[in-house]
Copies of this chain bind each other. A is one copy, B any other.
Amino acid sequence: MLNNNSFSDRLETAVRAKKSAVLVGLDPRFESLPPSCKGSFLDFCKGVIDVVAPLVPAVKPQVAFFEQHGAGGMAVLQMVVQYARQKGLLVILDGKRNDIGTTAAAYADGMLGEKSIWGGDAITVSPYLGDDSLTPFFETAADRGAGVFVLVKTSNPGGAMLQDLIAADGKSIYRHVAEYVQTASLKTLGAGQYGSIGAVVGATWPEQLAELRTLMPNVWFLVPGFGAQGGSAKDVAPAFDSEGLGAIVNNSRGIIFAHTQKRYADLDWQRAVEAATVEMIEQLNCVSH
């Protein structure tokens, strides 16, 4: 039975309940805010959350856009996370943090779990520093029923520079990371098929997405690159299992700044957010079942 003690089970419960695999990225930028938000990241993010909370399982605040505005920006991030949690959303803090030993443990302590100061249900981390830099995140996540998404194959073209290098054993670097993540996630299986150690796998590489789905059968995928970066619903189809589970697909600009798109020009900005979210949910549901 699914329960609330594991991130993977909570995510599965939320995806089933909302019948939606859409992850809404909260990437506030002053220049794109609707005028009615009067430059307030907090009002804007709350406005997005109010609209998407009944529709999607989770939101993903991009830490960079809050950190860019100093400690004040970070204070807003804390309020945004709390508000999203109150509205029943899972919160994935996208900070791509990484460091060694006790420093990694400090990041994990601050960010992971309902009772942590940043309150993330899950976070993203970068693997270049290797296994002993990842285990502190995994351990804290396990203690707190939280999740960790490890960068495996990123959506940007430049990701190929290191990730696609082929090692002497014939395997790509991203495959080395993928096998490590699969092994780690297997140790964290909840009641369902998936563990709480996830992988970031870009929508822009459909072939690798299919390869990685096979390599990581017990790993939730966080899929960036949909929409603005060029990934389509068809491209992300291989990320899902036969029940439509196993992946959440991120969209940031395409949803939160939908009011700037011609097709939604007649709508109030929040109705534009709603329309773009519903449209993406339907697109994904067509390919994921």
Contact = CB atoms under 8 A, between A and B. Distances in A.
A274 to B, nearest CB: 25
Given A27-B103, A130-B162, A117 B156 contact: no
A264 to B, nearest CB: 22
Interface of A is mostly: helix
Given A69-B110, A107-B64, A173-B165, A156 B133 contact: yes
A155 interface: yes
A128 B162 contact: yes
Contact of A106 (B65, B132, B156): B65
Interface stretch (A74-82, A186-194, A209-217): A74-82
Contacts of A1: none
A158 interface: yes
A37 interface: no
B71 A77 contact: yes
Contacts of A103: 27, 62, 64-65
A173 B128 CA distance: 10
A166 B173 CA distance: 10
Copies per complex of this chain = 2
Nearest to A79: B71
Interface stretch (A13-21, A44-52, A94-102, A240-248): A94-102
Contacts of A129: 96, 126, 151, 154, 156, 158-159
A163 to B, nearest CB: 7
A157 to B, nearest CB: 6
A68 B156 contact: no
A161 B130 contact: yes
Given A70-B74, A129-B159, A133-B158, 20 more contacts: A27-B103, A64-B106, A64-B107, A64-B110, A65-B106, A67-B118, A68-B106, A69-B117, A71-B72, A96-B126, A100-B159, A126-B126, A126-B128, A126-B129, A127-B162, A128-B151, A132-B158, A133-B154, A162-B173, A162-B176
Interface of A: 27, 62, 64-65, 67-72, 74-75, 77-78, 96-101, 103-104, 106-107, 109-111, 117-118, 126-134, 151, 154-163, 165-168, 173, 176-177, 180
